[in-house]
Amino acid sequence: MTTAYDLLAEGLSARGVDLAAVKAALKAQRIETPSWGYADSGTRFKTFHWPGAARTTREKLDDAALVHKLTGVAPSVAIHIPWDKPEDGDYAAMRQYAASRGLAIGAVNPNLFQEENYRLGSLTSPSAAAREQALNHIIECCAIMGKVGSTALSLWFADGTNYAGQDDLRARKRRLEEGLRAACKHLPPRSRMLIEYKLFEPAFYSTDLPDWGASFALCLKLGPQAQVLVDLGHHASGVNIEQIVAFLLDEGRLGGFHFNNRKYADDDLIVGTVNPFELFLIYNELAGAAAGDAEPARGTATNVAYMIDQSHNIEGKIAPMLLSVMNCQEAYARALLTPRKMLAEAQAAGDVLGAHQLLADAYRTDVRPLLARVREELGVPVDPVAAYRASGYEKKIAAERGK
């Protein structure tokens, strides 16, 4: 009996796609989930409690372990300090517990926006005491990286101003560079500093790292261990994020992603739910660079950190995380099905519509039969969300952790 997978395989073969290579790439895909995504979270207006939301770092790791068990591609967890700081300070025990659950600790994220002293900024603040506090916290997180085995320091700054004339914009730029230069000296060997940017919010007039260009320029000054982190929600409407990705890949400075989605601004919605075509196009740039022979783009593409950063405030916690991972799998699968040789020939010949149609056809491909086969071969459920709902885990943790 001919299956949907058989029909897909036949069609891909006709397009010259190496199905075995595609399946191998999908099995090697890695998506890092965030500890804070398993806890209660909300908007600036309200946090809605979800029965069973993780209350401790160990509970977060338990939930992340289930996501990895059901998908097979989420083996690491990003932590946030001090939200995930152990009461006894034993980070070795945290690392060991994660390992016992089949996980590794991923990026370490310092909190540089909730302290009272950061009212006017952290590393960019006009207050020397605030800048020192922020730098000391980053240095503390560098030490934590060594204890948990992390190779990525993920930095986001809420720093900015609310009114014109509030502070000297050039002075704030210099303070940020000075602070990060000092922090770089404390990075563990063979680790990276991923520098995020954001168009606006929470400051209303100016943001000290407002776009990828500012982050890129800063990374060039700091050295090769500093790379740009792209959050999909941190752009103005209509910005061509895949072009930014292509530029940073070609410059060897794309460090990682925070995956989410937005409709209006930084809405932190589930990745791939509002604009799945954009997610596909981003993955297409990554897959194309990884498949090519151009350096440093190829080397950069194979070392990108793929992390989810979302606020699941009304839809639960674990099921949304599973859906996020699955949406990334679908986008990557479609990108891998792009016939690179045919596309390059069409581009070189100036066949505008032909090139576009090749890409559009890859996007329109129903990759669910392919991913079902990959999951079967990985030994995980064909439908992770359905398996989660049938597992009874949600009811179990709601009872154990309190309503």
Q: What is the pLDDT of residue 402?
A: 77
Residue partners of 395: CB distance under 8 A and separation at least 6? none
Residue 368 token pair: 């669910």
Strands (E), 95-248: 104-110, 152-155, 160-161, 192-196, 206-207, 226-231
Q: What 3-state class would DSSP assign to 155?
A: strand
Measured CA to CA, the distance from residue 82 to residue 269 in angstroms comes to: 24
Q: What is the pLDDT of residues 197-222, one digit of tens each?
A: 999 999 999 999 999 999 999 999 99
Kindly indicate the confidence band of residue 16, based on its pLDDT and cuts at 50, 70 and 90: confident
23 φ/ψ sector (left φ>0, alpha ψ -120 to 50, else beta): alpha
**Residue keyed to tokens 């190829």:** 298
The answer to whether 272 and 330 are in contact (CB under 8 A) is yes
How many CB atoms are closer than 10 A to CB 32?
A: 27
Q: What is the pLDDT of residues 247-292, one digit of tens each?
A: 999 999 999 999 999 999 888 999 999 999 999 999 999 999 999 8
Consecutive H or E run containing 237: none
Kindly indicate the confidence band of residue 104, based on its pLDDT and cuts at 50, 70 and 90: very high
Share of the chain above pLDDT 90, in %: 90
Q: Are strands 104-110 and 160-161 parallel, antiparallel or unpaired?
A: unpaired
Measured CA to CA, the distance from residue 272 to residue 294 in angstroms comes to: 29
- Distances in Å between the Cα of 246 and the Cα atoms of 198, 239, 241, 342, 344 are 19, 13, 9, 20, 16
- Determine whether 132 is exposed, middle or buried from the number of CB atoms within 10 Å of its CB (0-12, 13-18, 19+): middle
Ranges 34-48, 178-192, 196-210, 312-326: which has the least confidence: 34-48
Q: What backbone phi and psi angles, to 5 degrees, belong to 195?
A: -105, 115
More confident residue, 84 or 47: 84
Structural domains of the chain in order of their starting residue, each with its CATH number: 29-338 (3.20.20.150)
Share of the chain above pLDDT 70, in %: 100
Measured CA to CA, the distance from residue 10 to residue 17 in angstroms comes to: 10
Q: What is the pLDDT of residue 135?
A: 98
Terminal C-alpha separation, the chain: 49
Mean pLDDT score, 140-152: 98
pLDDT beyond 80 at 95: yes
More confident residue, 183 or 46: 183
Mean pLDDT score, 240-248: 98
Length of the chain: 403
Residue 222 token pair: 């700091």
Mean pLDDT score, 348-371: 97
More confident residue, 45 or 169: 169
Q: What is the pLDDT of residues 30-73, one digit of tens each?
A: 999 999 999 998 777 888 899 999 999 999 999 999 999 999 99
Kindly indicate the confidence band of residue 403, based on its pLDDT and cuts at 50, 70 and 90: low
pLDDT beyond 90 at 127: yes
351 φ/ψ sector (left φ>0, alpha ψ -120 to 50, else beta): beta
DSSP lists the bridge partners of residue 261 as 269
Q: What 3-state class would DSSP assign to 76?
A: strand
Ranges 5-14, 16-25, 158-167, 315-324: which has the least confidence: 5-14
Mean confidence (pLDDT) of the chain: 96
Measured CA to CA, the distance from residue 202 to residue 157 in angstroms comes to: 10
pLDDT beyond 80 at 238: yes
How many CB atoms are closer than 10 A to CB 195?
A: 26
